[in-house]
Structure 1
Amino acid sequence: MAGQLLPIAALLFSTFLMLVGGGLAGILLPLRAGLDGWSPTTIGWMGTSYALAFTLGCLIVPRLVRRVGHVRVFSVLLTLLSMSLLLHALVMEPVAWMIFRGIAGFSLAGGYMIVESWLNERVTNETRGRVFSIYMIVSMLGLLAGQFMLPFGNPATQTLFIICALIYASALIPTALSNAQSPRALTRVSLDLKGLYRRSPAAVVGALIAGIVAGAWGFLAPVYGERIGLSTLGIAAMLATAMIGGSIFQYPLGRASDLVDRRYVMVAAGAVGLVLAMAMVLIHPGPGWLIYAIMFLFGSVLYPIYSLNTAHANDAANPSEFVTISSGLLIVYGIGSMIGPQAAGRLMDAFGPSGLFITMAVCYTLYAAHALWRILQRSIPIVVDQKTEFQFQSPEMQQTPETLQLDPRSEAAQD
């Protein structure tokens, strides 16, 4: 195993550092904006800008790499990431922060794609599953490490911004000094939304709703934590608890969906999400053990629902279509993640912190209701041996088309 990891150690270390920076920035920026009195709707616009730019990065960066090469583009993107954090510290204006957040989203998408393309070049079908699992674990550890750096500084000062910029800059070093050969061209995405919807309506609508949920949570959960009185350590712990819950519950939920019509699991996940979101609205827990207990359970349906959609869409597809279908769902998910921060921000302005979980309650209701309606519209014969295996995905790890190439479910397309 060590022999398989040594050639990709530098790439994994770059990934870890990018995720540390991403984890810290993801919690620092909305929290600082909230401390400066910006409304949740304004903070939501930052999230929308980031999601839009991330999605565009998945489409544009492959063209840039074709023109000037992997190393040069990767160097530029990591430089832009560092600059974006320093600019946040220098210019405290909402419109400027939306632009800077967009730069970060575009750059992170490209950075992930380039590192993942290098990893793809180094794996075989025999090692793909292990490397993908290690990549997901490294990603999750990076996010957790970044989030728990928040308590070591004061969000109201520039220190954490500078530290985050330094982390992004250091992510360039391992890959830039690696002797790995430049890999093949990056995966280019084409979107046939009508064809994708005809193939699997439940997966397309589910991916859109999953994106709304993830966008709302990713950009406004830190603001929610600050508004209910959590300390910086408490906010980091709240996010980490949900992430850990998502990791633990992915396996039983995925295993259940491998054995039955996945739409039934979608209905169940939506019902659980609705109950937990309404519990947060009605109980309105402040600092204390109860909020962490609910967040642990909430993570069980916060993160895995996108994986359910991907697996369901690919159940009836040829193995060679996995990357194409999953890439299309990824764009749909990205569109949802643009909507989520806006929807949750406006409801938080109207109803206070509980507006975040009102948004979640509505989303999970729609998620369950649409899956149930599709069950009533069309039954699907279940042949367990022919179903696509549900694959673990690191919570909050934003996927790119290159992640899909690394996924072991793409093996058949590469044989």
Structure 2
Amino acid sequence: MSLTQPATRLIVAAFLMDFAIGLAGLGFIELAIALHASPLVLGRIGTIGGLAYTLGCLVSGRLSDRIGRRRTVFAACLSVGLAWSAYGWVVRPEQILYILPIAGFGMAFFWPPVQAWLAELSAAGGKVELHRNIGRFNMFWCAGLLGGPVACGYLWSYSHSLPFVVAIATAVLLAGIAWSTPRRAAGQPALAEEPTEPAHPQADLFLRLAWAGNFASSLAMGTVKTLFPKLGDTLGYPPELVGWLIASIHGGQILLFYVGSRTEIWHYRLEPLLLAPLLGASGMAVAYYTSSPLWFALGFAASGMCAGVTYVGSLFYSLHGHAADRGGKAGLHEAVLGSGLLLGPLIGGKLADELGLRAPWLLGAGT
């Protein structure tokens, strides 16, 4: 991989954005806990950003189909960084509810356009190149989400401002990367001249099954990432350990992304989409019963492996064979993801407030 290649720049940008999201996301949760937020407020904090993200994804992909990927992504990076910069004015946890919708809406104008942009840069190589680039893309963004919470744990222990400062600087860097990345690779044909492949006869079935799995997995992940810091705090876990345990979700995802990138055998096969939810439910059940950091890590990793299967299937089936409306399909893929991230903290926060901090893991297992 060379940074002179436009596709590689987008893959690196995916890592940087999710690293910044991991920093700022956990940073706002830790900030809310430090300001004595209740589980219900924490759930609302997780929900409000997911709502804005979901709504934004419904329009961002189609907008980028019209005005271009580069302009959309550039504006998204600046708006996210600007929203995060408001952390310094927060003195009550409820004030975070005004910041995160802006950040979430901005993120919605980053991910679907970047995914569609990557598919366009992969078009000349057909399904093989799309498969390879999606594999790299998924491993890199997931590595960013793995490293972000871990880094946040250490930076937060040193200074409560550092996670936000680093996240903001990263967003500015990303704006520069977006603006300097060519719209198309050298010698790449225009959209109307791209090679086409025949659609799979059951392509719509696989797309809808993958979207359903993507929703369930994101609901469980949103619950864990929003509410586990509170449970970890009551168990006496330091912020560094909480960061590592949340990162174990993405460790499981990366493992599945790597395996999926090495083979195409899973393309248009039902077994992975039907068996993955059983693995995810098992992981959430383990998290419900344990108080051991090791078993939390194993349970969250199992759930992350489930999410890896459903996410890569949802993204691949959304982009493959949809040259005319890649942005729109990528937007729907991310809107499904965002709706799970929205509802997980909302329902999980209510369950935690009424039934105890472990109740949300049953929600994750049930979905």
Equivalent residues in 2 for 1:230-269, closer than 5 Å: 230-249=237-256, 251=259, 261-262=270-271, 266=274, 268-269=275-276
Q: What are the Cα deviations for residues 145-171 of structure 1, in whole angstroms up to 9, with x where unaligned?
A: 322211332267223222221121121
Alpha-carbon RMSD: 3.9
2:61 matches 1:45: no
Aligned partner of 1:300 in structure 2 is 305
Aligned pair partner of 1:171 in 174, 178, 188: 174
CA 1:96–1:133 in structure 2 vs 1: closer, same or farther (change >3 Å)?
Answer: same
Distance 1:6 1:336 in 2: 34
Aligned partner of 1:336 in structure 2 is 340
Aligned partner of 2:112 in structure 1 is 113
Preserved CA contact (<8 Å) 2:74 2:176? no
1:96, distance to aligned residue in structure 2 (A):
3.2
Name the amino acid aligned to 1:227.
Answer: T
> Taking structure 1 as the reference length, what is the TM-score of the superposition?
0.68
2:367 matches 1:360: no
Name the amino acid aligned to 2:304.
Answer: G
Aligned partner of 2:144 in structure 1 is 142
Distance 1:45 1:37 in 2: 14
Equivalent residues in 2 for 1:16-415, closer than 5 Å: 16-62=15-61, 65=64, 70-126=69-125, 127-154=129-156, 157-178=160-181, 180=183, 205-249=212-256, 251=259, 261-262=270-271, 266=274, 268-282=275-289, 284-286=290-292, 288-307=293-312, 328=332, 330-363=334-367
Distance 2:226 2:114 in 1: 25
Distance 1:181 1:201 in 2: 30
Q: What are the Cα deviations for residues 203-261 of structure 1, in whole angstroms up to 9, with x where unaligned?
A: 66545433422322332233333332222221121122222223325648x99977975
Q: Percent identity?
A: 20
Name the amino acid aligned to 1:98.
Answer: L
Preserved CA contact (<8 Å) 2:51 2:342? yes
Preserved CA contact (<8 Å) 1:14 1:172? no
Aligned partner of 1:401 in structure 2 is none
Preserved CA contact (<8 Å) 1:347 1:358? no
Distance 2:137 2:210 in 1: 25
Q: What are the Cα deviations for residues 352-379 of structure 1, in whole angstroms up to 9, with x where unaligned?
A: 321231222332xxxxxxxxxxxxxxxx
> Taking structure 2 as the reference length, what is the TM-score of the superposition?
0.76
Name the amino acid aligned to 1:163.
Answer: V
Preserved CA contact (<8 Å) 2:51 2:338? yes
Bigger Rg, structure 1 or 2: 1
Distance 1:325 1:180 in 2: 19
Distance 1:198 1:131 in 2: 24
Distance 2:141 2:207 in 1: 29
1:340, distance to aligned residue in structure 2 (A):
1.0
Name the amino acid aligned to 1:174.
Answer: I
Structure 1: which 5+ residue stretches go unaligned? 186-195, 364-415
CA 1:306–1:224 in structure 2 vs 1: closer, same or farther (change >3 Å)?
Answer: farther
